[in-house]
Amino acid sequence: MKKFLEGSRAIAETVKLCRPDVVAAYPITPQTHILENLAEFKAQGQADFKYIKPESEMSAASVVLGASAAGARVYTASASQGLLLMTEVLFNIAGLNLPVVLTCANRAISAPINIWNDQQDVMTARDAGWIMLFAEDNQEASDLHIQGYKIAEETNLPVMISVDGFSLTHTFGQVDIPDQKLVDKFLPRRKLVSGEFLDPKNPVSIGGISSPESYILARKKLHENLIASKKNIKKTAAEFNKLFKKQSARHDGLVEYTGPKNPKLMIIAMGSILGTIRATFNEKKISDKVGILKIKCYRPFPDAEISKIILQVRPKHVAVLDRAISLGQGGILASEIKNLCPIGMVSNFIVGLGGRDVTPEHIEKIVKLSLTDKTCTTRFYDR
């Protein structure tokens, strides 16, 4: 049913439909309304998950690690400094092959103190071994959480869903929340294999020490599993779109291109900024010469998929809009896109850090700048 909801509320309602067994989260800033809403559902008897409030984000992540290892379906959410405090545990969750689902309400990192939206937090967890999906709008945020559980439990890999703080989490709009019956059909109970989870009746140990001989093999396996999960992500999206009859006709892909063939410019970005770019192109009618490549799945990195689209579409130039930076290097997404393109083809703009508003006028200006000055050095667009 199409409802008028705040983004955080839409995500909380969706998570409730996914029937987690354990929800753990540190409730203080930078937490979102997602956890407030889940607490409300629990208090009103609308949900029967175990709701645990630990003393920090690191403990919250540890709680869901333990619960997931014991066979539970788990959920947690964080952002900004909170996600950073979780980082050590995030690596462990992935290394232990636990199907944890986490929402990151993307926000900036201190110092200086800033509570607003950018994507620096999630990029800091980039190498932890999680599947990382980025929502463009609150409908997609809802959809990706349902898909996230399925992907996680099929691949035994954790899934982090990035939702831009404030511009999605605190924004009200139309979101279609599916029926419980359909979600139950799509997402049956987690299947547990004896000996593969912590069970007092059948004791096993996990995460023991790995020798120099075996550690590299374990890391190789995790890397290969992540890359192999691309097909699960695609298949799950296709199944989801079919079962839930998505009228918005979401693509099934890890990346999505909209625009003409041979565009003068291809803009590449992740998250809610894509909506502003689309609105700009629709209004300014420049979509006949500029295309948009959306990165929905950032890890595993869709390198082959991006290359394929670039070879098919043949843009003259590429501009990557990053909302996070590897300080001393440049835009993080841009540096990965540069690996796939000839030297000189990719421009990079750092935009919207710490909640700096990105407007259609900015997008228009960035398009013009990209076409007139094709320098590949990272540029801050801070007007």
Partner 1 sequence: MIEIRLHGRGGQGTVTAAELIAEAAHLDGKFSQAFPSFGIERRGAPVEAYARISDKPITLHSKIYKPDYLIIQDPTLVNMDEVRQGISKETFIVINTEKSPAAFRKIFEKNTIQTIPATQIALAILGKPIINTILLGAFAGVCGLLDPKSLTTAITARFKKEVAEKNLKAMNTAYCHCNQNSEYCFSAEKCEVAVDGGQNFSVTC
The residue ranges that bind partner 1 (CB under 8 A) are: 4, 115-117, 137, 164, 166-168, 170-174, 272-276, 278-279, 355, 357-360
**How far apart are CB 284 and partner 1 at their closest, in Å?**
12
Closer to partner 1 at the Cβ: 4 or 380? 4
Closer to partner 1 at the Cβ: 41 or 149? 41
**How far apart are CB 104 and partner 1 at their closest, in Å?**
17
**How far apart are CB 130 and partner 1 at their closest, in Å?**
25
Instruction: Answer whether 299's CB lies under 8 Å from 130's CB.
Output: yes
Closer to partner 1 at the Cβ: 71 or 355? 355
Q: Tell me what percent of the chain is helix, strand and coil, each rounded to the nearest 5.
A: 40, 20, 40
Beta strands at 172-176 and 2-6: parallel, antiparallel or unpaired: antiparallel
Closer to partner 1 at the Cβ: 136 or 305? 136
Exposed, middle or buried: residue 9 (CB in 10 Å: 0-12, 13-18, 19+)? Answer: buried
Which DSSP state fits 178?
A: P
Q: How far is CA 373 from the centre of its chain?
A: 32
Closer to partner 1 at the Cβ: 58 or 351? 351
What's the rounded Cα separation, in Å, for the pair 365 and 286? Answer: 12
What's the rounded Cα separation, in Å, for the pair 238 and 252? Answer: 5
Beta strands at 265-269 and 255-258: parallel, antiparallel or unpaired: unpaired
Closer to partner 1 at the Cβ: 63 or 358? 358
Closer to partner 1 at the Cβ: 42 or 278? 278
**How far apart are CB 115 and partner 1 at their closest, in Å?**
7
Tell the residue number behind the tokens 């511009």, with chain if given: 167
Closer to partner 1 at the Cβ: 66 or 275? 275
Instruction: Answer whether 32's CB lies under 8 Å from 77's CB.
Output: yes
**How far apart are CB 361 and partner 1 at their closest, in Å?**
8
What's the rounded Cα separation, in Å, for the pair 317 and 322? Answer: 16
**How far apart are CB 20 and partner 1 at their closest, in Å?**
27
What's the rounded Cα separation, in Å, for the pair 198 and 205? Answer: 7
Three-class secondary structure of residue 56 per DSSP:
coil
Beta strands in 270-328 (DSSP E): 290-295, 297-299, 318-322, 325-326
Three-class secondary structure of residue 351 per DSSP:
coil
**How far apart are CB 272 and partner 1 at their closest, in Å?**
5
**How far apart are CB 110 and partner 1 at their closest, in Å?**
14
CA angle 81-30-108, nearest 5°?
55
Closer to partner 1 at the Cβ: 57 or 140? 140
**How far apart are CB 274 and partner 1 at their closest, in Å?**
8
110, 244, 268, 366 from 351: Cα distances, Å: 17, 35, 13, 10
